[in-house]
Amino acid sequence: MSAHPYAGLPARAFWKKAIAERHFLDLEGLGTPIRLSREDRVATAGSCFAQHIGNRLQAAGARYLDYEPAPTGWSQGNARKHGFGVYSGRYGNIYTTRQLLQLAREATGADVHEPVIWERDGRYFDALRPSVDPAGHARPEDVVLLRQAHLEAVARLLDDLDVLVFTLGLTETWEDRRTGRVFPAAPGTIAGQYDPASIDFVNLRHGAIMDDLTAFHALLKARNPKARMVLTVSPVPLTATASGEHVLAATTYSKSVLRAAAGDFAADHDDVSYFPSYEIITAPAAAGMFFNRDLRSVNGAGVDYVMKTFFSVLEGFEPDAAQGTDIHDLDLICEEGALEKYAG
């Protein structure tokens, strides 16, 4: 028999041995090793699913950065509702690579923009992170003040982190026609006014996402040469799409593009890793069991399994048993969820 390239490959290379003949909770060899030591300062950002990663890393004893802690005396529930302790900075969910790049450029002074302020019922919101202030603020200048403090914190974070875990969530976004800035939520959904003459729907393609990641990576490394990145893709389907497609097809498109871009970018950079949380939750072998009854949000069992697998691929990091706060009790904060109310 002649030799062929599949001869001698490990079991993880074959669907039958790696998936079909195994209990899905006994998967082995999923994910490539990720270097992380207990001394590494870890930051998280991304879409809603990234909140789980930050929560679990903190509970596991990682040196997790929180550069915008809540004011003294706030309960954990109130703090999270106002965007504190959700990520390493109070940026809210960063769904797209464009949003990540935009924040980094503004925080480091590479771009200078006037704050975009949305109004709702006499209250004022930071349009670039509208979920962090659930009731907005009394005056526009309050929003400006908080944004300035926020950008300074983000700049320090970019300078100090050793590892940034970023979860790519969406390709669909809303872009201001004049400035090119993108928003995490469409104007009019949380606050602000929707004006079709000034705002464009954008569905980022693979090339655009690669460009965003390349630009962000270059900016980060220029300020912080030791920084590394871990990319994941959120398995959470779109709440709604403005693409004109069925939301299922739009979700598949969005996640496929993000998955391809994240994998390609990691393959091209030694200091960037990809972790397959998307695959774990959405695999046919999981048969949807990791989703709640909305078939969208990921249940605790799914998060547990993703994080168990995540910790198994870390080189140089042994997680503590979770203690103190019950991490299963933390509510996720999602602007995108606001679109639910328009489903009728």
Partner 1 sequence: MSDAEQRSITIEDLSRQLVTTPNKTRRQIYTIRSEGIDIPVRVIDVPGTGAADAPLVFVFHGGFNRAQPYPFFYGSRFVGRPDTAPRTVIALCDPTLALSDSLRFGWFAGAEGVDVPGAVRTLLAAFVAQIAPSRVIVTGGSIGAHAVLTHARELPGSMVVLANPLPRIDDYHQPSVREYFNLCWPGHPARAADVPQVVNDASLAYSDMTLHNEFVILLNATDPHIYRQAAPMLANLGGRTAEPERILPVSYFFPEHAGHAFPPDELTAWVDAAVMAPEPTARMAALTREKLRAGEARPARAKATRDDPLDIELAAQLVRATQEART
Q: Amino acid letter at 120?
A: R
Contact 157, 43 (CB under 8 A): yes
Closer by beta carbon to partner 1, 59 or else 170: 59
What is the 8-class DSSP label of residue 124? Answer: E
The least CB distance from residue 285 to partner 1, in Å, is 9
Closer by beta carbon to partner 1, 25 or else 249: 25
The least CB distance from residue 22 to partner 1, in Å, is 8
**Structure tokens given for 150:** 């926020």
Give the closest residue to 333 by CA, choosing from 120, 184, 111, 137: 184
The least CB distance from residue 134 to partner 1, in Å, is 5
The least CB distance from residue 306 to partner 1, in Å, is 12
Give the full edge-to-edge strand order of the sheet including 199-203. Answer: 182-183, 172-176, 199-203
Closer by beta carbon to partner 1, 3 or else 287: 287
Closer by beta carbon to partner 1, 142 or else 160: 142
Closer by beta carbon to partner 1, 73 or else 244: 73
Distances (CA, A) of 275 to 111, 208, 258, 322, 330: 31, 21, 13, 21, 23
Distant-in-sequence, close-in-space partners of 150: CB < 8 Å, separation ≥ 6: 68, 89, 90, 91, 126, 129
The least CB distance from residue 16 to partner 1, in Å, is 16
Contact 242, 172 (CB under 8 A): yes
The least CB distance from residue 244 to partner 1, in Å, is 29
Q: What is the DSSP string of 229-263?
A: EEEEE--PPPS--SSSS-HHHHHHHHHHHHHHHHH
The least CB distance from residue 99 to partner 1, in Å, is 22
Closer by beta carbon to partner 1, 132 or else 199: 132
Closer by beta carbon to partner 1, 55 or else 96: 55
Instruction: For residues 45 and 50, give the distance between their C-alpha atoms in angstroms, rounded to a whole number.
Output: 6
The least CB distance from residue 293 to partner 1, in Å, is 4
Element holding 280 (H helix, E strand) = helix 277-282
Closer by beta carbon to partner 1, 110 or else 289: 289
Binding residues for partner 1, rule: CB under 8 A, are 22-26, 71, 74, 78, 81-82, 121, 123, 133-138, 142, 145-146, 149, 286-287, 289-293, 299-302, 304-305, 328
Instruction: For residues 193 and 189, give the distance between their C-alpha atoms in angstroms, rounded to a whole number.
Output: 8
Give the closest residue to 271 by CA, choosing from 339, 217, 335: 217
